[in-house]
Structure 1
Amino acid sequence: MKIPGIKAVNEAFKAYSQNKADKTGALPKGSQGVSEGDSLQLSQSAKYMQEIECALRDLPEIREELVNSIKTGLRTGTYQPDAKKIADGIMQERLLDKQI
């Protein structure tokens, strides 16, 4: 069985485990929520999404070097943003908004 997305896998496992639990909430001994013969196979895209999520968690929330260089440029008057790049970015963002 293939389930897209990591969150869907976790939710499916939780639901499956809850169905296997007895009235006290404990799982049958040795089953750990999965009976023999059950299996779960992640698709390549789900594995890829999981790798991307891990990589994104490792990225800093704020790029300090970039922020500091822009601050310095603003203070000294040497920061000259490219108006064409800004306009292109705005247009790309608007196009993405329209697709959703």
Structure 2
Amino acid sequence: MIISSQQIQMVLRLYGGQKLQAAGEKKTGETDQTDRTQGDRADFSAEAVDHKKLREIVLNAPEVRDELVQKIKTALEKGEYQVSAEDVADKILGRLLMDRLL
């Protein structure tokens, strides 16, 4: 199965949004009772903070890397575009890992 980076970004957006929404619903339910007696307080784990940063980076990443597209176009026009077997293997393994993770 071939999965483009655009499809991966879309899945990460959807999956990340669902996890954040579910976590927010849980957190809201837990804090409703304590808010009456104490001030507002939120504690986030280091993992949650890292997840938020990663999610923001992914959401702000451009859909198309124009400089890379232009570089490949130029190489194709000159007949100089070559892909090594190692690069192909890296992509195959990367996509295999993404399929297993998602």
TM-score between the two structures when normalised by the length of structure 1: 0.60
Please give the residue correspondences for 1:18-57 in structure 2 after superposition, counting only pairs within 5 Å: 34-37=35-38, 39-57=41-59
Q: Which has the higher helix share?
A: 2
Measured after TM superposition, the shift of residue 65 of structure 1 is 0.3
Q: Percent identity?
A: 29
Partner AA of 2:88 in structure 1: I
Alignment length, in residue pairs? 83
State how far apart, in whole Å, the 1-side matches of 2:94 and 2:23 are. 33
Larger radius of gyration: 1
4+ aligned runs moved over 4 Å, structure 1? 13-17
Aligned CA RMSD, in angstroms, stands at 3.1
For residues 51-96 of structure 1, the C-alpha deviation after alignment (integer angstroms, 9 at most, x for no partner) is 1112222221111000111111112211111122112321343255
What is the aligned counterpart of 1:88 among 80, 87, 90?
A: 90
Gapped regions of structure 2 (runs ≥ 5)? 1-18
Residue in 2 aligned with 1:11? Answer: 25
Q: Distance in 1 between matches of 2:55 and 2:100?
A: 25
Q: Distance in 2 between matches of 1:88 and 1:81?
A: 11
Closer, same or farther: CA 60–96 of 1 in aligned 2, 3 Å = closer
Q: Residues 6 and 46 of structure 1 are in contact (CA less than 8 Å); yes or no, is this contact kept in structure 2?
A: no
What's the TM-score once normalised by structure 2's chain length?
A: 0.59
C-alpha distance in 2 between matches for 1:77 and 1:13: 57
User: Which of 1 and 2 has higher RCO (CA within 8 Å, sep 6+)?
Assistant: 2
